[in-house]
Amino acid sequence: MSANVGSPRTARDSKAQASEQAIDQAAVGVWLFGARGLLAGELLRLLELHPRLSLEGAVSRSAQPLSQAHPHWLGDKLTQTSEEAVDQIAKRLATKDKAAVFLALPHGDSAAVVAALHQRLGKDFERLALVDLAADFRLADPALYRSAYGHEHPAPAELAGFAYGLPELNRAAIQKHGRAAAAGCFATALQLASAPAARAGLLDAKLPWHFFGVTGSSGSGAEPKPGTHHPHRHGNLWAYSLEGHRHQAELVQCLRPLGMEPPIVFLPHSGPFARGIHLTAALPLARAATTQSALEIYSQAYAGEAFVEVLEGRVPDLRSVAASNRASIGVHVRGSVLCVLVTLDNVVKGGAGQALQCMNVILGFPETWGLPRFGLGVC
The confidence score (pLDDT) of residue 115 equals 94
Q: Is position 185 annotated as part of the catalytic site?
A: yes
Residue pLDDT tens, the chain, 379 long: 444 433 334 545 555 554 444 455 789 999 999 999 889 999 999 999 999 999 999 999 877 788 888 888 887 778 889 999 999 999 999 988 899 999 999 989 999 999 999 999 999 999 999 999 999 999 999 999 999 998 999 999 999 999 999 999 999 999 999 999 999 999 999 999 999 999 999 999 999 999 999 998 654 555 666 666 667 777 888 888 788 788 899 999 999 999 999 999 999 998 888 789 999 999 999 999 999 999 999 999 999 999 999 999 999 999 999 999 999 999 999 999 999 999 999 999 999 999 999 999 999 999 999 999 999 876 5
In a domain, 3, yes or no: no
The confidence score (pLDDT) of residue 225 equals 64
Whether residue 202 is found in the same domain as residue 166: no
Task: Please return the burial class of 171, using the count of CB atoms within 10 Å of its CB with bins 0-12, 13-18 and 19+.
Answer: middle
Whether residue 178 is found in the same domain as residue 242: no
In a domain, 145, yes or no: yes
In a domain, 98, yes or no: yes
**Cα gap 164→173, rounded to integer Å:** 8
**Cα gap 375→90, rounded to integer Å:** 38
**Cα gap 285→227, rounded to integer Å:** 37
In a domain, 368, yes or no: no
Domain that holds residue 54: 11-182+349-363
Whether residue 64 is found in the same domain as residue 212: no
Give the sheet arrangement for strand 53-59, strand by strand: 79-80, 53-59, 28-33, 99-103, 128-132, 179-182, 163-165
Whether residue 357 is found in the same domain as residue 252: no
Please check whether residue 32 is in contact with residue 58, taking contact to mean a CB–CB distance below 8 angstroms: yes
Q: Please, which residues bridge with residue 331 across strands?
A: 340
Please check whether residue 275 is in contact with residue 346, taking contact to mean a CB–CB distance below 8 angstroms: yes
The confidence score (pLDDT) of residue 18 equals 47
Whether residue 165 is found in the same domain as residue 193: no
**Cα gap 237→233, rounded to integer Å:** 7
In a domain, 336, yes or no: yes
In a domain, 6, yes or no: no
Whether residue 157 is found in the same domain as residue 17: yes
The confidence score (pLDDT) of residue 224 equals 61
In a domain, 375, yes or no: no
For 337, the enclosing helix (H) or strand (E) is strand 337-344
Please check whether residue 217 is in contact with residue 273, taking contact to mean a CB–CB distance below 8 angstroms: yes
Whether residue 358 is found in the same domain as residue 320: no
Whether residue 104 is found in the same domain as residue 40: yes
Task: Count how many domains the chain has.
Answer: 2
In a domain, 117, yes or no: yes
Query: How far lies 103's CA from each of 9, 37, 50, 98, 129, in Å?
Result: 31, 11, 18, 17, 11
Whether residue 149 is found in the same domain as residue 255: no
**Cα gap 83→226, rounded to integer Å:** 34
Domain of 272, CATH number, reads 3.30.360.10
Whether residue 246 is found in the same domain as residue 312: yes
The confidence score (pLDDT) of residue 24 equals 53
The confidence score (pLDDT) of residue 281 equals 98
Whether residue 193 is found in the same domain as residue 269: yes
Whether residue 236 is found in the same domain as residue 219: yes
Please check whether residue 363 is in contact with residue 129, taking contact to mean a CB–CB distance below 8 angstroms: yes
The confidence score (pLDDT) of residue 71 equals 87
Alpha-carbon torsion 44, 54, 355, 5, what sign? negative
- Among 185, 339, 358, 379, which one carries the catalytic annotation? 185
**Cα gap 252→138, rounded to integer Å:** 12
For 194, the enclosing helix (H) or strand (E) is helix 185-199
Domain of 47, CATH number, reads 3.40.50.720
